[in-house]
Amino acid sequence: MEFFSASDPFIRFAASVAAAAIGITVVLMVYICLLRGLRILEERRRQRFLARWRPLVYEAITGGTVTWPTLARREHETFLWFWNQLHETVRGDAKQVLGRLGVEIGLHLAALKFLHSGRMSRQLLGIVTLGNLGMPNFWHQILPIVDDPHVPVSLAAVQALLRLDAERAVPELMPRFATREDWPATRLHAMLVEVDHAIVTTAIDAVLPDSSDAAAMRLIEFAAAGDAIALQPAMVNRLKRSQTPPLWANVLRHLHDPDHLEIVRESCDHPVWFVRVQAVNALGRMGGPADVDRLVALLTDAEWWVRFRAAEALLKLPFLKRDELERRAAAQGPAALDLVRSVAAKEAA
């Protein structure tokens, strides 16, 4: 009896904890059911909205005369999502018609309000809408957002400005492209390839000479979105300010013009191995008969990657016959000959 009396408080405590757990579980289940119900109701409302508006928009795109119903304020977000999705799928004249009807309905007014929304999803929707509308008079509303610390928001603003006026936007944004390391270079490159090459090339050429080494590295990566050949003199000249090995190697990786063979040949003797690797690769792209001896000598380089790339480069030279290459490699030693033969076998497989 004493045992049960002593344990009664513990039993009551355990029962209270169990009851609380059950209560919390019931509350969570009710909450989840309510959220699910609200989501179903919202989806049904959206489908009714699209069933009413989608035929009208399609009719307008195909040239029909449409009397637009009033767009309620609570329907703005749904319509903006629908309009932007459609804008990404249509092409040619249909895209221009879609832009005109967006202005007729007043989408720009709703988008401007969304720019200052506390919800990021609405802010993004407003930015994208203004960019797709293609109205340059919204430039000054979007430009400050480029410096937003949130990457999705700032990149959406970049894309919008490029769509509003690429010729004006690229020179304005290129210094930021060089320094905003939180902006993925691949994403920026995808945006720039849609812009005229001459605009991109001019902007990079203007920023590259005075850029830091890190910024220069990023700018050179964007060269492929412009005229990479036209930018090669600026890349080589940039090395006059700084010759850090990563920058030097990156410049060599983008050289394709034989006019710059002299710096490539000098780089074959660079003390840093990955610079020599890029120099060898460049010789494989644009080297001539005068470079064969240099490449053959590199078959005995202290770094394996340099030796391997030298063998690849020699095999790429169209004027160098295989037997002549093997004869020269054998003169460097059995290891050099074996390397050339193994690389040739690998490429033939």
The tens digit of pLDDT for each residue in 293-331 reads 999 999 999 999 999 999 999 999 999 899 999 999 999
Distance CA 318, CA 256 (A): 16
Average model confidence (pLDDT) across the chain:
87
Alpha-helical segments (H) within 184-260: 185-192, 197-207, 213-221, 228-238, 245-253
Q: Kindly report, residue by residue over 278-300, the tens digit of the pLDDT.
A: 999 999 999 899 999 999 999 99
Query: Any idea where the domains of the chain sit in the sequence?
Result: 52-164
274 or 63, higher pLDDT: 274
Instruction: Using the structure block, give the residue that is written with the tokens 């489908």.
Output: 47
This prediction's pTM: 0.76
- Give the pLDDT band of residue 240 (cuts 50, 70, 90): confident
Average pLDDT of the residues in 85-101: 83
* 63 has a pLDDT exceeding 80: no
Q: Kindly report, residue by residue over 174-220, the tens digit of the pLDDT.
A: 999 999 999 998 999 999 988 998 999 999 999 999 899 999 999 98
Distance CA 184, CA 201 (A): 20
